[in-house]
Structure 1
Amino acid sequence: MTHVMACIDGSHSATGVCDYAAWASQRLGAALCFLHVLDQVQYPQPSDLSGNIGLGSREHLLEELAALDEKRSKLALEQGHHLLEAAKARAIADGVANPQLRQRHGDLVESLAELQQDIRLLVIGRQGETSDNLSQLVGSHLENVIRTLQRPILVSCGEFKAPQSYMFAYDGSATARKGIELIAASPLLKGLPCHLLMVGADTSDAWEQLKSAERVLQDSASAVHLAIRAGEVEPTLHAYQAEHAIDLLAMGAYGHSRIRQFLVGSTTSQLLRSSTGPLLILR
Structure 2
Amino acid sequence: MKAVCATDLSAASEATIENETCLECLGRIGVDEMHLVTVIPSNVHAGLPGLDFEGRRRRALERYQRVIGDAGFDVEAHIVRGTPHRRIVGIAETLGADLTLVGSRGKSPLENRVIGSTARNLARTTVTPLLVNRIERAADDPDVVREQLFRRLLYATDFSANAERAFEAFSYLRHATQEATLVHVETPKDPGPAEDEPEERLSELAGRLEGWGIETQIDVRRGDPADEILAAEAEFEPTTTLIGSRGHSRLRRLLLGSVSEEIVARATGNVMLVPPDRTA
User: Which runs of structure 2 are paired with 1:42-191 in the superposition (5 Å)?
Assistant: 43-44=44-45, 68-69=47-48, 72=51, 75-92=52-69, 95-115=71-91, 116-118=93-95, 119-126=97-104, 135-136=110-111, 140-158=117-135, 159-160=143-144, 161-163=147-149, 164-183=151-170, 185-187=171-173, 190-191=176-177
Q: Which residue of 1 aligns with 2:234?
A: 242
**Partner AA of 1:179 in structure 2:** A
Q: Which has the higher helix share?
A: 1
| Residue of structure 2 equivalent to 1:278 | 270
Q: Does the 8 Å CA contact 1:113/1:148 hold for their aligned counterparts?
A: yes
Letter in 2 for 1:232: D
Query: Deviation at 1:249?
Result: 0.5
Q: Which of these two proteins has the greater Rg computed from alpha carbons?
A: 1
Q: CA deviation at 1:8?
A: 1.1
Which amino acid is the alignment partner of residue 38 of structure 1?
Answer: I
Cα distance in 2 for residues equivalent to 1:143 and 1:149: 10
Question: Given that residues 168 and 251 in structure 1 are in contact (C-alpha distance below 8 angstroms), is that contact kept between their aligned partners in structure 2?
Answer: yes
* Inter-partner Cα distance in structure 2 for 1:264 and 1:99: 36
Cα 1:229–1:263 change in 2 (3 A) is farther
| Partners of 2:7 and 2:13 within 8 A in 1 | yes
User: For the aligned residues, what is the CA RMSD?
Assistant: 3.2
- Provide the TM-score with structure 1 as the length reference: 0.75
Using the TM superposition, give the Cα deviation of residue 237 of structure 1 relative to its aligned residue in structure 2, in angstroms: 1.9
Q: Give matches, 1:9-48, under 5 Å.
A: 9-18=8-17, 19=19, 20=22, 23-41=25-43, 43-44=44-45
Cα drift, residue 78 of structure 1: 1.4
Segments of 5+ residues of structure 1 without an aligned counterpart are: 46-67
How far has the Cα of 1:87 moved from its partner? 2.0
Structure 1 residues 263 and 195: CA distance shift in structure 2, 3 A: farther
Instruction: Name the aligned partner's letter for residue 3 of structure 2.
Output: V
Q: Is the 8 A contact 1:22 1:32 kept in 2?
A: no
Which residue number corresponds to residue 200 of structure 1?
186
Q: Deviations over 1:176-220 (max 9, x none)?
A: 11211232x224654421110111269661112212322443444
Aligned residues: 251
Aligned twin of 1:253: 245
TM-score (ref. length: structure 2):
0.76
User: Against the structure 1 CA distance between its residues 148 and 104, is the aligned structure 2 distance closer, same or farther, given a 3 Å change threshold?
Assistant: same
Describe the shift of the 1:187–1:274 C-alpha distance in structure 2 as closer, same or farther (beyond 3 A). closer
Q: SS at 2:205's partner residue? A: helix
Alpha carbons of structure 1 residues 255 and 232: separation in structure 2 relative to 1, 3 Å: closer
1:233 aligns with 2:216: no
Q: Secondary structure of the residue that 2:184 maps to in structure 1?
A: strand
Identity %: 17
